[in-house]
Amino acid sequence: MPCLPTFPVIWIANLQHIDENARHLLALLTPAEKARRLCFRQVADQKRFMVGRALTRLAISSQLRCPAQEVNIVLTRNGKPKLDPNLTTLTFSIAHSGDLVVVALLARGAVGVDVERFAPEVVPEVLIPMVCSLLEAKEIRSLPTHKQRVKRLLSLWTLKEAYLKAIGVGLTTDPRKVTFNLDAQLQPTLLAPPEGDLPDQFAHGWKFIVMPDYGEYVLALAVQNMHRDAGSTLTPCWHDAGILLASATRPLKE
Ligand SMILES: CC(C)(COP(=O)(O)OP(=O)(O)OC[C@H]1O[C@@H](n2cnc3c(N)ncnc32)[C@H](O)[C@@H]1OP(=O)(O)O)[C@@H](O)C(=O)NCCC(=O)NCCS
């Protein structure tokens, strides 16, 4: 019987240390995933996709104690990758940006993760109308420095993506319909979930973390209905994925 964690488990891979044609990682992809990888024109995007799916299988395999190649990932209508809920309660989420690939696992409940490289050249006034609710826009514009405005904007952006991934809709839902409050320490609270067809199961029990200074990245995590033993504070268990990815180097059948 596998032992599922009572808290979110986060694996972070740095792509700088990984070959884009790493055979041991490619071998973990299904034929459909190998075909999809080749649909990306940029080699960097091919690599992000390959590492995301390979790392997801390895992370799930270490949690469920099954061979990584047997981890069956299916896609919902909105493109959310998931496991068969009849087989396990384990859920996961994948994000990539720049050199980072992040995979979040949760024993049961919903989980979403997002990561964005902090780009100082971001022009807040270009993104605010696409991403922010009126309240969020007002708060960003009231900040005195460009750096503070960009940091708050990217914090909100990653939080929204993490949340919209957790509920499985992604950007099919307008991110401006979701409002987060960030206090002075950028601690997030969900003020307004998207109105309309949000299933009841997603109404309550959310916890969020945003890390606006994860090196040159902003990273956010959305978690709902964690295991009841996990306590009231969201305390993920962070792992460097290097060892896990290297563990797949033993020969595998293609
Ligand atoms: C989810 C979404 C916001 C990700 O945006 P992004 O910033 O470009 O990429 P990220 O690196 O942050 O996340 C990508 C990952 O999100 C996951 N994802 C995709 N759609 C998702 C969804 N609806 N819900 C949850 N997660 C989703 C995937 O794991 C994807 O990585 P992978 O394909 O390599 O496995 C965006 O792709 C989206 O809105 N997708 C849904 C709408 C859509 O285009 N559907 C197509 C129908 S198949």
pLDDT of the residue at 197: 65
22-46: average pLDDT: 96
Please state which of the four CATH numbers 1.10.3330.10, 3.30.160.60, 3.90.470.20, 3.30.565.10 is assigned to the domain occupying 110-225. 3.90.470.20
101 CA → ligand 1 middle, Å: 13
Q: Is the pLDDT of residue 144 over 90?
A: yes
Q: Is the pLDDT of residue 139 over 80?
A: yes
Is 171 touching ligand 1 by the criterion CB < 6 Å? yes
9 neighbors 244 (Cβ within 8 angstroms): no
Mutate which of 154, 171, 202, 219 for ligand 1? The one with the most ligand atoms within 8 Å of its CB, which is 171
Task: Pinpoint the residues of the chain covered by CATH 3.90.470.20.
Answer: 1-109+228-254, 110-225
Report CA(229)–ligand 1 centroid distance (Å): 30
Query: How does residue 121 score in pLDDT terms, banded at 50, 70 and 90?
Result: confident
Q: How far is the CA of 48 from the centre of ligand 1 (A)?
A: 13
Give the model confidence (pLDDT) of 86-101 as tens digits.
999 999 999 999 999 9
Q: Residue 3 pLDDT > 70, yes or no?
A: no
pLDDT at 254: 45
The Å distance, Cα 170 to ligand 1 centre, comes to 6
Identify the pLDDT of residue 49: 98
- The answer, yes or no, to whether any atom of ligand 1 lies below 6 A from the CB of 114, is yes
Strand 9-14 and strand 237-240: the pairing is: parallel
Cβ within 8 Å of residue 111, ≥6 positions away: 8, 91, 92, 93, 104, 105, 166, 221, 222, 223, 224
State how far the alpha carbon of 182 is from the alpha carbons of 93, 145, 159, 161, 190, in Å: 23, 17, 10, 15, 9
Domain 1-109+228-254 has CATH 3.90.470.20: yes
The predicted model gives 225-247 an average pLDDT of 83
Q: How confident is the model at residue 227 (pLDDT cuts 50, 70, 90)?
A: low
Q: Is the pLDDT of residue 40 over 70?
A: yes
Q: What is the DSSP string of 207-231?
A: EEEEEEEETTEEEEEEEES--GGG-
